[in-house]
Amino acid sequence: MLNQVIIDGLAFALPLLVIAIGGIFSEHSGVTNLALEGLLGFGAFSGGLCFTILVQFIPFDSAVAFYVSFIAAALGGATFSLIHALLCIRLQANQVISGVVINIAAMALTGFLTAQLNQSFFSGSSNKFFLSTAPRYTLDLLSGLPILGGLVTNVYPFEIIALLLVVICWFLLYRTRFGLHLRACGDNPQSVDAAGLSVARIRLVAVMISGGLAGVGGICFAYSISTNVSPAIYFGAGFLAIAALIFGNWQIIPTLGACLIFGLARAASFQLVLLLEMDSSIFDLAMIVPYVLVLVLLVFFSKNNRAPKALGQVYDKGQS
Amino acid sequence: MNQASSETKSRSTNWLLRILRYPRTQNLVIAILAVLMALVAISLVIVIIGKNPLTVFVSLLRGSGWLPKPRYASGRSMLTDFLGLLDALTPMIFAAIAVAIAFKAGLFNIGISGQMLTGGFLATVLIGYSQLDAVLAKPLVLLVGALSGAMLALFVGWLKANFNIHEVVSTIMLNYVVQYIVSFFIKGYFIEPVSRQSHTVSVASRLTLVNVQIGAVETRIPLCFLLAVGLAGVFYLILARTRLGYEIRAVGSNRQAAEYSGISSRRTIMLTMALSGAAAGLAGVTYYLGYYNSIMPGDLSSVGFDSIAVALLASANPLACVLSAMLITSLSYGSNYMSSVADVSEYIASLLIGIVLLFSACSGFLKYLVNRNNLAVDQSDDREEPGSTPATGGD
């Protein structure tokens, strides 16, 4: 019971964290990113497409397709995020508008492309790409332990990928020269310019990283929640991630905490419904727990947190 | 020396620039340009999948009642389709002006679908299932819808004003909360076992008259269509002519400056959200108790999201919203017929809307390009449009 909460909670929290870190990269460079929802959807679509194609060629071994689909998802998300970069950095569009527009465009585009590709090439008429069920691993030695056991039981391989990504991203953002430049772009872009670096280029890279990470998060959810890529991928994870990073004050480690709270709360409310053997319609009420929790937590943490100073502003060289 | 060549070059693009620069119609021209570019882009897509764009567009127009279909079922005509379009258009106009007025205050109300569902559900339960007469029921439905939508949006405004919670995040969260709560109540108490939808509302409370015979033709009459257009006019007047409208635009273009000039931005934000939510609630009742007569549990209407496209295309001008709502609704309303006749997926229509949106998001840049050279010539004509670039202070 408690183990199940931890297992399900981690499977939800880690992909969410990857998406939120994508948001942190973009927002630390000064580009508001409300497009995460659309980016993760497009990433999941790219991954699903890649999986469907690969399975046609190597039907006997879906493990290769499984791992390659993560790379495809990252590339797809990064490519789609170029639109956000183009609109926000080059075309000086309002960044909130751009984000909302990209979400709508991504829903329309992935829906259309999935249905069309299925019809034209894969001789199916559905609007879904079916994936294989992801393998799950258990570390037998430790799985008997009370709480630690939950951490090592039924672990999806992408949870390991997610953890690796988190470590790499933390190092990149806080311990490298590039990370310093990136954070400077969000707080004081003029200083970056004065140091002889291109604000536009750094922001472009940051937005692409954020697209790639969102894409990986998207395909993780596609594997864990529904084992297919369908319009149901747009269930608000991108916005939960944004709430998590606001709650985490734009820092990776506190954001990890926020994601864990969301994931565990979601899993716990499900288990509670199961435990009390309530009617299945109660599930609908259990579903609202993470969303309500976000709102309540934001009430307490939104006021005093410190967003990057230049967040949401178009960089203008002439400004002092 | 170079001047002569650049002069001939500029003369060739002169007529286009002159049209684009004319300040009074600039937004309109740019919107039309965005639609045209989207049409070209979608035509390319249609050609790539091996269909003729012209047949697709014609079937779209036929499906939405602008062009006569080659054949009709008995008792139906172009009028049936067109009045059906107006019926679908009514909630869209309400929803679009809801987005527009919030947008003018720099607020992004993307919780329209949640506010619609709240209004629609409460009106369904309180009035739609009652035995009230039509004279009493219909106004009450409108009242309940507007009030409940306004209350939900007011809550978002309150969160924004007091706790600095970005309205995009809070409205999305509330969308899911409302969706699941309504789904819970419908599945638990109001479910129709066969259709898996909520029980249908009483005819007396429904805001659309269905099965009306005009001559030999069977039609439906959307009772609130004129109310929607009228409310668009009222919103336009509020924004352009009243003190509240001035305050909304001031907060939208620069919240700090508005504060310094003595405007309470918190009060303005909450008031604007309430107005926006009221319009969204009206969209909800005209959708769930007009266009439809029941609610599908666990589903948010696409009207709420398409209305963002409508409002952006209209540069958040409530009157222009009526026109752009007409355009976008025609696209989605005709898509059903289009997909059956022209054999392309219905997603083409939503893709078209998405591309229109992408191009209209670039309109700020186009405006900047066009006005850049213009600035030196006559600065007086280059008025700032407060609503087109709302100030958003981060998340």
Chain B, residues 105-134, CB within 8 A of chain A, namely: 108, 110
Calpha distance A64→A55 (Å, rounded): 9
Chain B, residues 268-307, CB within 8 A of chain A, namely: 298, 305
The per-residue pLDDT for range B226-259, each reduced to its tens digit, is 999 999 999 999 999 999 999 999 999 988 899 9
Q: Is residue B165 within 8 angstroms of chain A, CB to CB?
A: yes
**Listed residue (A289, A315, A296, A299) closest to A9, CA to CA:** A289
Q: How confident is the model at residue A43 (pLDDT cuts 50, 70, 90)?
A: very high
pLDDT at residue A21 above 90? yes
Q: Give me the sign of the Cα torsion angle A158, A160, A166, A172.
A: negative
Residue whose entry in the numeric block shows the structure tokens 């907060």: B251
- Report the pLDDT value the prediction gives residue B379, as an integer from 0 to 100: 44
Burial of A219 per CB tally in 10 Å (0-12, 13-18, 19+): buried
Number of C-beta neighbours around residue B241 at 10 A: 10
Contact A104 B353 (CB under 8 A): yes
Return the percent helix, strand and coil in chain A, to nearest 5: 70, 0, 25
Average pLDDT over residues A82-106: 88
pLDDT at residue B201 above 90? yes
Number of C-beta neighbours around residue B248 at 10 A: 29
Helix axes A62-85, A199-221, angle to 10 degrees: 140
pLDDT at residue B16 above 80? no
Choose the weakest-confidence range: A81-90, A180-189, A283-292, B154-163. A283-292
Chain B, residues 372-391, CB within 8 A of chain A, namely: 389-390
Number of C-beta neighbours around residue A188 at 10 A: 15
Q: How confident is the model at residue B391 (pLDDT cuts 50, 70, 90)?
A: very low
Contact A284 B168 (CB under 8 A): no
Mean of the per-residue pLDDT values of chain B = 86
Phi, psi of B68 (to 5 degrees): -70, 140
pLDDT at residue A125 above 80? no
Task: Point out the residue among B168, B188, B350 whose CB comes nearest to the CB of A108.
Answer: B350
Q: Which residues pair with B219 in a beta bridge?
A: B212
> B172 contacts in A (CB within 8 Å)?
236, 239
Contact B392 A109 (CB under 8 A): no
Calpha distance A218→A216 (Å, rounded): 5
Which span out of A58-72, A174-188, A240-254, A280-294 was modeled with the highest average pLDDT? Answer: A174-188
Calpha distance A169→A28 (Å, rounded): 13
Calpha distance A161→A219 (Å, rounded): 12
The per-residue pLDDT for range B291-330, each reduced to its tens digit, is 999 999 988 888 988 898 899 889 899 999 999 999 999 9
Contact B184 A119 (CB under 8 A): no
DSSP per residue, A69-115: HHHHHHHHHHHHHHHHHIIIIIS---HHHHHHHHHHHHHHHHHHHHH
Question: Which two three-digit tokens encode residue A69?
Answer: 């689909």
Are A40 and A21 in contact by the 8 Å Cβ rule? The answer is no
Calpha distance B26→B22 (Å, rounded): 6
The yes/no answer to whether this complex scores an ipTM above 0.95 is no
Q: How confident is the model at residue B387 (pLDDT cuts 50, 70, 90)?
A: very low
Which residue, among A29, A95, A101, would best test binding to B if mutated, counting the most B CBs under 10 Å from its CB?
A101
Sketch the domain layout of chain B as residue ranges.
71-321
The per-residue pLDDT for range B332-384, each reduced to its tens digit, is 898 888 888 888 887 888 888 888 888 888 877 777 777 776 554 444 444 44
Task: Point out the residue among B180, B188, B357 whose CB comes nearest to the CB of A287.
Answer: B180
Return the percent helix, strand and coil in chain B, to nearest 5: 75, 5, 25
Task: Point out the residue among B108, B354, B395 whose CB comes nearest to the CB of A104.
Answer: B354
Task: Point out the residue among B188, B350, B365 whose CB comes nearest to the CB of A91.
Answer: B365
Give the Å distances, CA to CA, from A174 to A123, A177, A204, A252, B209.
Answer: 48, 9, 19, 10, 63
Counted residue by residue, chain B has a size of 395
Task: Point out the residue among B159, B350, B355 whose CB comes nearest to the CB of A111.
Answer: B350
Helix axes B112-123, B303-313, angle to 10 degrees: 130
Contacts of A84 (CB under 8 A, 6+ apart): A31, A33, A35, A39, A98, A99, A102, A207, A211
Which residue, among A302, A303, A305, A316, would best test binding to B if mutated, counting the most B CBs under 10 Å from its CB?
A302
Q: Give me the sign of the Cα torsion angle A208, A210, A211, A215.
A: positive
Q: How confident is the model at residue B183 (pLDDT cuts 50, 70, 90)?
A: very high
Give the Å distances, CA to CA, from B132 to A177, B128, B129, B141, B317.
Answer: 71, 9, 9, 11, 37
Task: Point out the residue among A91, A105, A246 whose CB comes nearest to the CB of B354.
Answer: A105
Q: What is the CATH code of the structural domain delimited by B71-321?
A: 1.10.3470
Q: How far is A32 from chain B (nearest CA, A)?
A: 7
Counted residue by residue, chain A has a size of 320
Number of C-beta neighbours around residue A227 at 10 A: 13
Q: Is residue B170 within 8 angstroms of chain A, CB to CB?
A: yes
Chain B, residues 233-252, CB within 8 A of chain A, namely: none
Phi, psi of A127 (to 5 degrees): -100, 30
**Three-state SS for A21?**
helix
